[in-house]
Amino acid sequence: MTERRAILSGSVFEERIGYARAVVDGDWVHVSGTTGFDYAAMTIPDDVVEQAEQCLRNIGAALAEAGCGFQDVVRVRYLLPAREDFEPCWPVLRRAFGEVRPAATMMVCGLADPRMRIEIEVYARRPDAGA
């Protein structure tokens, strides 16, 4: 039977809405849309670049708990309410994904909280997949 387990970050949103930060399903890791909240303090910076950095810290923690890292990401989706906020984030995103070059999509859409300026979702394949 394929391993399936939930990874929780402690975000109040996970409890209130009923989802996991990430789900490990066999070889695959599906990381939910992740925002720039510091889940320990439940604070979020105003600056979109700082939010992108925090998104990546949150995602990195989920990937590590799943037994992989950014080098294993095969797909990334960026969701932003304001198109003009995307380009300032490029250097931060390039540091995480520039060598990996996952498939990527950027969408302009509303987010759940007006303080949220970016949300990032990733899919990764665990390095021991198929071993």
Q: What would the pLDDT profile of 64-112 be if each residue is shown by its tens digit?
A: 999 999 999 999 999 999 999 999 999 999 999 999 999 999 999 999 9
| CATH code of the domain in which 101 resides | 3.30.1330.40
Indicate whether 130 belongs to any domain.
no
Indicate whether 105 belongs to any domain.
yes
When divided into structural domains, the chain yields a total of: 1
Helix intervals (H) in 67-106: 86-97
| Structural domain range at position 70 | 4-125
Indicate whether 131 belongs to any domain.
no
- E-assigned strands of the chain? 4-7, 22-25, 28-35, 73-80, 103-108, 119-125
Tens digit of each residue's pLDDT (9 = 90 or more) over 41-71: 889 999 999 999 999 999 999 999 999 999 9
Under a CB-based contact definition with an 8 Å cutoff, are residues 69 and 60 in contact? yes
Indicate whether 81 belongs to any domain.
yes
Confidence tier at 3 by pLDDT (50, 70, 90): confident
**Who's near 38: CB < 8 A, 6+ residues apart?**
44, 54
Specify the amino acid at residue 104. Answer: A
Decide: helix, strand or coil at residue 88: helix
Indicate whether 85 belongs to any domain.
yes
Tell me what pLDDT residue 129 has. 60
Distances (CA, A) of 15 to 11, 18, 71: 7, 5, 29
